[in-house]
Chains A and B, each alone.
Chain A
């Protein structure tokens, strides 16, 4: 799930270790919650199901484009637009063109990977509802947060709060829906 779709607000619980976060996610998932998201200072593999990242395919295509474009530029420049005879070498010199072709491939693929990351994660994003929570700064230091979408199909707010409380977090925060 993506945390930018909280139309009905969210409930957040704060934990002090990745192990607690993991078991909390496992517990709520088995109860049928689907709208879960975690916040952690280090990557924690919680087994939340996510869509496939489009990035590998995009990067592959960008690399392909970079390679073809680099080769085409060299062919156009040296074999078509401005052929120079230096020492009788052929204007369309395949071995000599390999190096810029390789570099163009890597360059385009890397730029696509970098920009692609910011596009798929919708960054830069100066504001997000979680930044309103006092003490949420520690999510990049030593605290592990779990968010439950308030529109989750298990629905009932008091049930969600009760089940979160059963996980004995440090505290529970309710984020109101944006009006």
Chain B
């Protein structure tokens, strides 16, 4: 039993600490373009299967939304005092998911992070589809969704104007701006790739269709120069939105007096949580896509490693927020605050959701301290799914536990979601999948011109050799 008999830690089998390349292999530009455009020309059986499933989900959403509009939101489980429940939980969750797209495409562009180029298209598409889902919920929650335009300031014959001291018009301003800017940024980024698709299209009809959307792009030096200026301008305009949108959403809560909502940490806490859940959704979509479209040479371990590190950082900041808001509740010495944070949430009727949230959001990112786990696709996939569930639970806890037991015990009430609540949530996942599947089928899901630029840049600078 001598210690010397054990293998030494510095054996040659130990993986070395060198970093991964941002790109592998040396395909020709034509081969690379064709590889990245291939999903546009034919659909696999798996795609049709998933598309069928997501269509069913979308139909479920359509059916339950129609039912809600016809009958009213009494079909949902929420009632006074829990007036906000699934609808607002879903709204905050979806809009949070949207944040990673802008974070990756705009924030990281301005920070000159080369690895964003291979994944930004997927992240931007995810943002747009998440926002489509998010916008649905507050509109339905209005009760009379056909009057949603009353939130927009326009000279009406009634002479009534929206009240801008309320958080609701802020949400309208923040979400419409975010959606519009994300869509414009996404489309501008697409133009050169749509031109590639036009020029590689196998049939005349497709050539015409992509040609219309490519708007006659011919890649002249003048166009490229103006394009880069416009792209960077849009990125610079989108970057403050990464911070502002979820800050505005958090103000819906923090300007109220309710224990569990009335807190100054909310804006940064919400932004961190948003980027966290968004990165999880990016991985959840990217990992199967990478496998299905054989993108291993373009989305390498370097990308997975970078996203996992970001998730770890966001997870730690979120944990800090959980700790601080609980500490502040205790430190305030306010009976209602202390009750909400120290009794109702961890031990009250929704304690299960609270502990699911804590375990999934606080513990699962800790896996990413290990380099090997940061590039293990199974671990990444499961952790991302877990974080998405955890983040949904977080919004549920913030909304429902604060409302269902506030200052007066006489107004306490238990909230139970109805089947319509669950169906709309499931249906919105279906709609998200539906839109995303259409995206990967008809739009180049990797920014081809950016990847080609990166390849040329890496070839010309062997010193950097593309390490992240």
Q: Which residues of A contact B (CB under 8 A)?
A: 1-3, 18, 37-44, 46, 48, 50, 53, 55-56, 59, 63, 70, 73-74, 76-78, 81-82, 84, 86, 89, 93, 96-97, 99-100, 102-104, 106-107, 109-111, 113-114, 116-118, 120-121, 123-128, 130-131, 137-142
Contact = CB atoms under 8 A, between A and B. Distances in A.
B196 interface: yes
Contacts of B453: 42-43
Interface of B: 28-30, 33, 153, 159-165, 169-170, 173-174, 176-177, 180-181, 184-185, 187-188, 192, 195-196, 198-200, 211, 215-230, 233-234, 237-238, 240-241, 244, 248, 251, 449, 452-453, 456
Given A56-B233, A123-B216, A141-B33, A43 B228 contact: yes
A3 B165 contact: no
Contact of B170 (A56, A76, A99): A99
Nearest to A25: B221
A40 B218 contact: no
Contact of A100 (B164, B227, B240): B164
A42 B456 contact: yes
Contacts of B187: 114
25 contacts: A2-B222, A18-B456, A39-B221, A41-B196, A53-B225, A81-B161, A84-B163, A86-B163, A86-B165, A96-B165, A99-B170, A99-B174, A100-B164, A103-B177, A107-B176, A110-B185, A110-B237, A111-B184, A113-B237, A121-B222, A125-B215, A128-B218, A137-B200, A140-B195, A140-B196
B188 A114 contact: yes
B29 A142 contact: yes
Contacts of B248: 99, 103
A53 B244 contact: no
B20 to A, nearest CB: 23
Query: Which 6 residue pairs are nearest across A and B when measured between Cβ atoms?
Result: A142-B29, A77-B161, A124-B215, A137-B199, A117-B230, A125-B216
Contacts of A93: 164-165
A113 B159 contact: no
A78 B215 contact: no
Contacts of B169: 100
A172 B110 CA distance: 39
A25 B185 CA distance: 31
A50 B222 contact: yes
Given A103-B244, A141-B196, 19 more contacts: A39-B220, A43-B225, A46-B221, A48-B221, A81-B161, A82-B159, A86-B163, A93-B165, A102-B240, A106-B177, A106-B240, A110-B180, A110-B237, A111-B180, A126-B216, A127-B216, A139-B218, A140-B195, A142-B33
A3 B184 CA distance: 26
A163 B266 CA distance: 66
A100 B173 contact: yes
A41 to B, nearest CB: 6
A111 B184 CA distance: 8
A41 B221 contact: no
B164 A77 contact: yes
